[in-house]
Amino acid sequence: MSYKLAIATIKGGVGKTTIVHNLAGAFAEWGRKVLVVDLDQQGNLSSAFLKNIYNVPTTLYHILIDPDRPTSTAIQPTDFPNIDILPANLDLSRIEFQLAGDPEAQYYLADKLREVNHYDLILLDPPPHPGLMTLSALVAADGVIIPVECQEWAARGTTYVLEMIRRVRRRANPQLRLLGYVINKYDGRRKLEQTYKEVLLERYGADVFQTIIRNSVKYPESASMRRPLTSYHPTSVQADAFRQLAREISQRAFHRRQRAARSGRD
Ligand SMILES: Nc1ncnc2c1ncn2[C@@H]1O[C@H](COP(=O)(O)OP(=O)(O)OP(=O)(O)O)[C@@H](O)[C@H]1O
Ligand SMILES: [Mg+2]
C-alpha cells in the first residue's frame, strides 16, 4: 500500500513544491517507486518535471471531475527512473467552482489515489490556500509535513493548517499524522533568523526535523533545469540535505506504521 505524504501550509512560497520535487529525487534514488501529485493550478511541480504542461491532455482536473475516468490515464512517466507524475495546470482552477456544493468533493482525491496503490510513496503538493485542493490532500494523506521559514510570520500559515488538520482528523481522516516541521530557506547569518529558529524549536520541539534545508540558489536552478538536485547536482550538500530529510521521514512514517501494524496484530 502506498504511503501518502502531503507537504502543506497556508502560506505561499515557503518551499512546498521544492520539497516535493527534491524528496521525489531522494526516495527514487533508493529505489522507491514515487508518484508526485500536483494539486496546484499554478502547475509549478508539473513544470519542474515536464516540458510543456499546457500540452498535457489529461490532468488531475480530468480525473477528479469524472468518477469513471481511471487515475492511470492522467499519470505520466518523468525522465527519472521510479518517478511518475499526476500533473495539473490552469484547468484545475475550474474545479472549486464545478464541485461547489458537492458534500463528497473532499473525498474524490482519496478515492482516486486508492486506484494506484502500487507506488511506495505518493507525494502531494497542494496550493498555499485553504480551499478544496488543500483539504483533499489532507483527507487523502497518511502524513503531513509543514514547511516553515524562520521569519516573523512563519507561525501564521502554520496555525491555519494545524486547524485544518485538526478538523480533518475529527471525521474525514482520523488516521492523518503530523510528521513534523521542516525549516526551509535557512540562511543563519542573520541574528533575527536564529532567534526565530529558537522560537520554532521551543514551540514545536522534537517535531521539527533535524535536517534544515538551507537557502541556496541550487534549488531554483534545479527546478528550472527540471531535475531534482539528486540528479542535477548529486554530490552537493543540498542534495545530501534531501537524502537526510528522506531518511528522517522514513523513520517517522514507515517505522511508526510498522509499529501500528504490529500493535494491531497483538
Ligand atoms: N531552500 C531554498 N533556497 C533557495 N530558494 C528556495 C529554497 N526553497 C525554495 N526556494 C525558491 O523559493 C520559491 C518558492 O518555492 P516553492 O515554489 O517551492 O514554494 P511553494 O510553497 O510551493 O510556493 P506556492 O505557495 O506558490 O506553491 C521558488 O522560486 C523556489 O525555487
Ligand atoms: Mg507550490
Q: What CATH number did the domain enclosing 27 receive? A: 3.40.50.300
Q: What is the mean pLDDT of residues 213-234?
A: 97
25-56 confidence digits (pLDDT tens): 999 999 999 999 999 999 999 999 999 999 89
CB within 6 Å of ligand 1 — which residues?
Answer: 12-18, 40, 44, 127-128, 184-185, 213, 215-216, 219-220, 223
204-216 confidence digits (pLDDT tens): 999 999 999 999 9
Distance CA 256, CA 43 (A): 32
Mean pLDDT of the chain: 94
Q: How far is CA 125 from CA 4, 19, 122, in A?
A: 11, 9, 10
CA of 193 to the centre of ligand 2 (A): 23
Q: What is the pLDDT of residue 191?
A: 87
Helix (H, G, I), strand (E, B) or coil at 190: coil
Q: What is the pLDDT of residue 254?
A: 78
Q: What is the mean pLDDT of residues 182-199?
A: 91
CA of 260 to the centre of ligand 1 (A): 34
**By residue range, what is the domain housing residue 243?**
3-265
pLDDT at 266 over 60: no
Strands of 3-7's sheet, edge to edge? 76-77, 83-86, 34-38, 121-125, 3-7, 143-148, 177-183
pLDDT at 68 over 90: yes
pLDDT at 265 over 80: no
Q: Which residues contact 214 (CB under 8 A, 6 or more apart)?
A: 185, 186, 187, 188, 238, 241
Nearest CA to ligand 1 atom 29: 220
C-beta of residue 214 within 8 angstroms of C-beta of residue 241: yes
98-155 confidence digits (pLDDT tens): 999 999 999 999 999 999 999 999 999 999 999 999 999 999 999 999 999 998 776 7
Q: What is the pLDDT of residue 152?
A: 75
Ligand 1 pocket test: pick from 22, 129, 219 the residue with the most ligand atoms within 8 Å of its Cβ.
219
Shortest-distance ligand to the CA of residue 211: 1
DSSP letter, residue 68:
T
Q: How many folded domains does the chain comprise?
A: 1
pLDDT at 80 over 70: yes
C-beta of residue 83 within 8 angstroms of C-beta of residue 48: no
CA of 181 to the centre of ligand 2 (A): 16
CA of 36 to the centre of ligand 1 (A): 17
Shortest-distance ligand to the CA of residue 184: 1
